Amino acid sequence: MSLTHAAIKAAKPRQKPYRMFDGKGLYLEVAPSGGRWWRFKYRYGGKERRLSLGVFPDTSLSDARELLAEARKLLGNGIDPSVERKQAKLALNESTANTFEAIAQEWFDSRKGAWSPSHSEKVIGRLKNHVYRTLGKRGIRTITGPEVVALAKGIAAKSPDTARRVLQVMGQVFRYAMRSHRADHDPTHKLFEILPARDSDRRHFAAITEPQAVGALLRAIDGFEGQYVTRCALKLAPLLFVRPGELRHAEWTEIDLEAAEWRIPAAKMKMRREHRVPLSKPAIAILRELQAVTGRGRYVFPSLRTTAKPMSENTLNAALRRMGYAQSEMCAHGFRSLASTNLHELGYASHVIEAQLAHVDSNEVRKAYNQAEHWPERKQMMQKWAVYLEGLRSGAKVTPIGKRRA
């Protein structure tokens, strides 16, 4: 006889557990404590098995019968319902572990040690305030490009700059997941063009400027496993912070290691004026080592295909991508912003920094005067800047060495 709701409610606990059968393997087990569990007894592979279907009254009699029908259907298809449940639970757990939010938190925990507390708060804030509410609980593999576009456009309606920063952080999370094979692609790739354009964007070059992140970048350059000449160029880029085209077109005849000076001809400069670059001791050390490799040729950084041409304009950016830095995070031109931002924060005089960056002085009368007048100050600044970078690279706590105005 089949069970009824009234019979189940009237069942009293006994000294030992007992069963109330409903049919087709379904029964209710009543415990001495008064608890009542639905069970399904079946055979699979010649062995007797039991499957829990819930607790009464949370799982009603009709609910238990529906669950029984589903389990019997699996059996009819040759599937063990107990194994199927375990696999479904594992899949759910894996899905939970691989949600965007879970992986983003894992990525954030792995990176925040290299950031200042204020920068860490900004990064996690962008995720919590703009991403987690809509995509955080989604499996990271299931998030599509159109969904990211919709999210970015919604943010951009209020703040295009915030939208760019959110996309940048999301891209880093997706690429982190790709490295551990938990995501197949980065849907943020090339989405920046969908955001409202600003005039300033045409002049913007992605750059890392936060000191601890700069230190991590310098260590990544030290570990770069590509071509030796490319690694030397990457090492010199933050020390010299000239324009990428000026760096890759450098010729040995322009460099005087004994005088610790690099004179860039006017024809190679953006503003068509000769530019002098003081060479710090670390820069000289790198150049001396490189001279043994490329010193017999014309270019300091020759092309990999022919010494008659300089390094390709894409080489440094490609190296940064290979090191894991996205186009939206850091580019070869960004070393200039890296230096300018930090030198200003360290307290160096703006006119000295601008002179070293070879920016045009708006006062035509002062141009030639400043080029000569600031040379001693620039030499001192460049040497101390090299010391400062070495401190960041080593991960040591660095005391600002430029607080005295140059």
Going by C-alpha positions, the residue among 295, 304, 313 that lies closest to residue 255 is: 295
Closest CA to 142 of 183, 171, 103: 183
Phi–psi pair at 48, nearest 5 degrees: -80, 135
- How many Å apart are CA 160 and CA 163, to the nearest integer? 5
Q: And the tokens for 93?
A: 């757990």
Which amino acid, one-letter code, is at 60?
A: S
What is the Cα 84 distance to its own chain's centre?
37
Q: Which of 41, 321, 359, 379 is catalytic?
A: 359
Cis peptide before 57 (omega within 30 of 0): yes
Q: What Rg value do the Cα atoms of the chain yield, rounded?
A: 33
The single residue of 39, 243, 248, 384 carrying the catalytic annotation is 243
In sequence order, what are the residues at sequence separation of 6 or more whose Cβ sits closer than 8 angstroms to the Cβ of residue 275?
242, 246, 263, 264, 269, 358
Task: Tell me the one-letter amino acid at 348.
Answer: Y
- Catalytic residue at 141? no
**CA–CA gap between residue 172 and residue 187 (Å, rounded):** 11
- DSSP H or E run through 71: helix 61-76
Q: Would residue 63 be called left, alpha or beta, if left means φ above 0 and alpha means ψ between -120 and 50 degrees?
A: alpha
Task: Decide if 218 contacts 388 (C-beta within 8 A).
Answer: no
Q: Count other C-beta atoms under 10 Å from residue 87's C-beta.
A: 12
**Which of 130, 175, 249, 336 is labelled catalytic?**
336
- 256 bridge partner residues: 261
Active site residue 333: yes
DSSP state for residue 298 in the 8-state scheme: S
Q: Please give the structure tokens belonging to residue 297.
A: 């040729």
Active-site residue among 133, 270, 403, 405? Answer: 270
270 is catalytic: yes
Active site residue 111: no
Please tell me which residue in 89, 369, 403, 404 is annotated as part of the active site.
369
CA-CA distance, 237 to 335, in Å (whole number)? Answer: 6
Q: Which amino acid is at 74?
A: L
- Annotated active-site residue 27? The verdict is no
Q: Is 369 a catalytic residue?
A: yes
Where on the phi/psi map is residue 400: left (φ > 0), alpha (ψ -120 to 50), or beta?
beta
Residues designated catalytic:
243, 270, 333, 336, 359, 369
